[in-house]
Chain A
Amino acid sequence: MIAVGSPPGRRRLVAVTVAVVLALVVAVGVGLGVGPTPIAPGRILGALFSLAGVGHSTLTPLQATIVWQLRAPRLVLGLVAGSMLAVAGASYQGVFRNPLADPYLLGVAAGAGLGATLAITRYGLGGAIPTWTPWLAFVGALVAVVATWLIGGRSLRSTPATLLLAGVAVSALLTSVQTYLQQQASAQSIARVYIWLLGSLASASWHSVAVVAPYVAGSLVVCLFAARALDVMSVGDEEARSLGIQVRYVRWIVVAAASLGTSAIVSAAGLIGFVGIIVPHIIRLVVGVSYRRIVPLSLLFGAAFLVLADTVARTVMAPSELPLGVVTALLGAPVFVIILGWRRPT
């Protein structure tokens, strides 16, 4: 049995990387191939090759629409959202040196939730979700993070703990306003808000992918480059400073990047819970504590995990869908428990 949690050797790292890449390949296959309309895997593969100029697609026009306009954008948004949430979670855990940190910590969830609730309850005619809801959610998330930073992170004496506490306060305040709005709204609106809050990739389109992609790409690049600095910061702020790291600067850059990327994802897919906390921890348990390994592997595994979870969400009770946040927890928790059980003292 492998000694999970111990500093890993190169062989285990290669094995884990191969396993994660395989999971990603499976996720892409399942994401494109599984759905209420059966389409032969060979045809989908042929269509993929035809994209690269090899052979030609044998999909019927209807099948082509299903694959390229329904499944593909949903798959890509799932990949993007999963990788972003997992990387943001890993980065937050690194900068705050807190294993419970997740991407929603600094008020992103509460801010986005309030924005979406406001849009749906006040402007959603007949309980419909207005098309600009994502933008209001995005703005709400950013306003919340900025408020958290202004309250808890601006002063020279502020510590990671003051920032986290400010996040708790801002979240509590925004959630109470959100609850008030819900209480005033119709049952139909509340149901819509509830569905939105639980997260879903159902409204994915190439447009939504295009909107979130720049934010996510920028955020991922920053988090990947910051990984080595996060390793140094794991010895504590003061010692990291004595090793030449501008700790405050690194912290703000990473928090800003991760929050921006997460806000973009939340605006497009609602509040998908659990990915940001469970994926980095699974990776950490298997490959050790170095963020140079955790961040890139979380990116790949987060993408695979969320697409697989989404496939479960949209198929087990088809034609209706399970909330994605419920599935990520249902799938993630047992995996996490199994890996925790493997862990043995080193």
Chain B
Amino acid sequence: MIGIENLTVGAGTRTLVDGVSLRVERGRWCTIIGANGAGKTTLVRTVAGFITPDLGRVTLDDRDVGSLSERERSRLVAYVPQHPEIPTGMRVLDYVALGRVPYHGVMRAPSARDRRLTTEVAERVGLSSFLSRDAASLSGGERQRMVLARALCQSTPVVVLDEPTTGLDVRHQMTLLELLHREVVECGLTVLATLHDLTLAGQFADRLVLVHHGRVLMDGPSHEVVRSPVLEDAYDIGVTVVNVDGVDVVVPRRGASGAFREPR
């Protein structure tokens, strides 16, 4: 469970996250949406413990993130960055196995249990056939699945993902999000993610949080947020939502947008 209370984060004179409060229950998927520079990444990186907030606090399973050691935190929250660094020459299996470091530490070798969990997760995520390949040689989609596998290997109750589908084709975007969805449903994983694709965001998250200039503009069930008029304000464009077979498809409209103006 993630608790965010009155969170404020600044950089220099700018306020990036401004008094945000959120609560994500166990086994739920919450996606943060908003324009570039709205504060999404800062928000999720603060939840992951990389940024110390100026005000407010983040709790994971009711424990204050700021008071946890790195090792304790790594057993509570796993993080998938937007652009993961993939070392050349490392085997896929070894990369995924890094997810067990929070348990065996850097002084000891992985235990038999660590190794078993690693192969189990790799199998679940569909990596079995290229475990001995060079991690850097994978395609974008395979690579992102490998990074997800590493995060799942951490066996944390919470996974935080920053734009995990960046650079992936539609099929690989769907595959990745479906895998994550299965973990939420079957294992009770709590997910906090940022996504740019509003149609995908609406389909996978239980709840969407729309942020604008570091503040929460709207927070609610996915279908309500994507159909809200404030979406147009947040992105400063015209948006039409079409329901196709029960799926809300968010279509940006040409001509009805402020995209040609200086962004507000």
Chain A interface residues toward B at CB < 8 A: 5-7, 225-226, 228-229, 231-232, 234-236, 238-239, 241-246, 284, 288-290, 346
Contacts and interface: CB of A to CB of B under 8 A. Distances in A.
Contacts of A228: 106-107
Contact of A7 (B49, B74, B94): B94
Contacts of B133: 7, 346
B48 interface: yes
B99 interface: yes
Contacts of A289: 87-90
B222 to A, nearest CB: 27
A168 B190 CA distance: 46
B143 interface: no
Given A239-B79, A239-B81, A234 B90 contact: yes
Interface in B58-111: 70-71, 73-75, 77-79, 81, 84-91, 94-95, 98-99, 101-102, 105-107
A249 B104 CA distance: 18
Nearest to B75: A244
Given A238-B81, A243-B101, 15 more contacts: A228-B107, A232-B101, A234-B85, A234-B87, A235-B87, A236-B85, A239-B84, A241-B50, A242-B73, A243-B98, A244-B75, A245-B70, A288-B89, A289-B90, A346-B137
B23 to A, nearest CB: 22
B117 to A, nearest CB: 15
Contacts of A238: 50, 79, 81
Contact of A235 (B71, B98, B137): B98
B31 interface: no
Contacts of A234: 85, 87, 90
Nearest to A247: B70
B90 A7 contact: yes
Contact of B134 (A239, A243, A346): A346
Given A238-B79, A239-B79, A241-B50, A225 B107 contact: yes
Given A232-B106, A244-B102, A245-B101, A6 B89 contact: yes
B70 A241 contact: yes
Contacts of A7: 89-91, 94, 132-134
B74 A235 contact: no
A245 B49 CA distance: 13
A99 to B, nearest CB: 10
B154 interface: yes
Contacts of B70: 241, 244-246
**10 closest A-B pairs (Cβ-Cβ)?**
A244-B74, A289-B89, A236-B85, A244-B71, A7-B91, A242-B79, A244-B102, A234-B87, A229-B106, A228-B106
Interface residues of B, number: 34
B106 A245 contact: yes
Contacts of B73: 242, 244
A243 B101 CA distance: 6
Contact of B84 (A235, A244, A290): A235
Contacts of A241: 49-50, 70, 74
Nearest to B88: A289
B70 to A, nearest CB: 5
A7 B137 CA distance: 11
A340 to B, nearest CB: 14
A7 to B, nearest CB: 4
Contacts of B71: 244
Contacts of B98: 231-232, 235, 243
Given A6-B134, A241-B50, A346-B137, A235 B85 contact: yes
Contact of A243 (B81, B85, B102, B137): B102
28 contacts: A6-B89, A229-B106, A232-B98, A234-B85, A234-B87, A234-B90, A235-B84, A235-B95, A235-B98, A238-B50, A238-B81, A239-B79, A239-B81, A239-B84, A241-B70, A242-B49, A243-B98, A243-B99, A243-B101, A243-B102, A244-B71, A244-B102, A245-B70, A246-B70, A289-B90, A290-B94, A346-B134, A346-B137
B7 to A, nearest CB: 19
Contacts of A229: 106
Nearest to B91: A7
Contacts of B48: 242
B240 to A, nearest CB: 38
A253 to B, nearest CB: 12
Contacts of A6: 89, 134
Nearest to A5: B89
Contacts of A231: 98
A235 B147 CA distance: 10
A282 to B, nearest CB: 14
A173 B70 CA distance: 38
Contacts of B101: 232, 243-245
Contacts of B106: 226, 228-229, 232, 245
Nearest to B90: A289
B115 to A, nearest CB: 15
Nearest to B105: A244
Chain B CB within 10 Å — which of A5, A232, A244, A284 has the most? A244
Contacts of B74: 241-244
B99 to A, nearest CB: 7
A346 B91 CA distance: 11
Contacts of B95: 235
Nearest to A345: B137
A346 B133 CA distance: 8
Contacts of A226: 106
